[in-house]
Amino acid sequence: MSMRQLTLSVLIITILGISVWEALWRLEHIPLGDSISNKYYTMQIRSLPEASKLPYGQGVFIKLRYSPLWFSSKLVFSDYCESKPSIKWFTNNQLTIDCKKKKTASLNINYSIFYNSN
């Protein structure tokens, strides 16, 4: 096998591995709504997998706008909400999340999160 064939084989295996990793991540974290983007980041509400700290809950994930989900996606909020949480960007680094908790129907929680990718 020549060096060129070896390089091409390693590249193909790497691309396949990354694609499988992305597909598995997406299967475990099913989107529960459309993503909302600003200049730098994208956020989306997704279901949480059984193995997470909050099994079958809902989570708000933020990632760099043009990067793969598995690479830069960070969970910034998770809870058991009665319905899909309301999320909005106020600035490039601040978002608010409204979540009506399932267990205490009278409790409505409003979170303000300052997000910094560092």
Give the pLDDT confidence of 43-75 residue by residue, as tens digits.
Answer: 888 888 887 777 788 888 888 888 876 677 888
Instruction: State the average pLDDT over residues 9-29.
Output: 87
Instruction: Please tell me the pTM assigned to this model.
Output: 0.68
DSSP-assigned letters across all residues of 28-96: HS-B-S--EE-SSEEEEEEEPPTTSSSTT-EEEEEEETTS-HHHH-EEEEEE-BSSPPEEEEEETTEEE
Using a pLDDT cut of 70, give the percent of the chain over it: 84
Return the closest-CA partner of residue 31 out of 51, 48, 18: 48
Q: 73 near 61, Cβ under 8 Å? A: yes
* Token pair in block for residue 115: 């997000």
Q: Count other C-beta atoms under 10 Å from residue 72's C-beta.
A: 16
Pick the closest to residue 41 from 84, 86, 85, 91 (CA basis).
91
Coil vs helix vs strand at 108: strand
